[in-house]
Amino acid sequence: MVSVKNIIDTYSYMEGAKVLDLLLAHPHQPIYASVLQNALSRGQTVDEARDATFHESCIPMTDYRTLHELDARLKRLIELKASALNDGNDCADLDSEIAALTQYRKECLRPGGHIKNFLDHDKQAYYRMNKAIKRFLIRAEKDGHQDAVGIIRHNLKQGKIFRYEG
């Protein structure tokens, strides 16, 4: 059976192996994905990257006041369209504005009606680190290291915060 450290050394050129190597060096420590990304890209230690990384809060895509004003404008446009149709007038300009406002509302709200947030740096870094680790694990499993891959999958906790429990 090949150990986890040996498999990481075998594929040391892969970004996923580098991430896991950093996590192995700091077992049971929660590390933000953005800290891992900065440590790898800048050649820093995890502690140096942790001190240098700023964790921004999520930025909402809109606010409730804007949505209230948008709903009032949509209501007014629908009333204008109804009266224009009754008079037999063309309402293509009203249709395009209604479609644009409806699209904006759809892009800014989740299905439950809550406001969406722009992706923050930690979430973007998580997606990148997660893909790198997946590529590494798929490659290692394909090359016949199923036992080590199973150990890694069992001990690795992923999210905005990564942690290796092994």
Residue 114: inside a domain? no
pLDDT in tens, 72-109: 999 999 999 998 888 888 888 889 999 999 999 999 99
Residue 95 shares a structural domain with residue 139: no
CB atoms within 10 A of CB 80: 16
Q: Taking the alpha carbons of 73, 79, 83, 86 in that order, is the dihedral positive or negative?
A: positive
Question: pLDDT value at position 88?
Answer: 80
What is the reported pTM? 0.65
Residue 48 shares a structural domain with residue 129: yes
Gap between the Cα atoms of 41 and 129, Å rounded: 12
Contact 125, 162 (CB under 8 A): no
Residue 29 shares a structural domain with residue 104: no
Gap between the Cα atoms of 90 and 106, Å rounded: 26
Residue 92 structural domain: 64-108
Lowest mean pLDDT among 110-114, 120-124, 147-151: 120-124
Residue 103: inside a domain? yes
Residue 101 shares a structural domain with residue 133: no
As a whole-number percent, the residues of the chain with pLDDT over 70 amount to 97
Residue 17 shares a structural domain with residue 54: yes
Gap between the Cα atoms of 40 and 24, Å rounded: 14
Question: pLDDT value at position 1?
Answer: 44
Domains: count for the chain: 2
Q: Which residues contact 116 (CB under 8 A, 6 or more apart)?
A: 60, 61, 107, 108, 109, 110
Residue 147 shares a structural domain with residue 126: yes
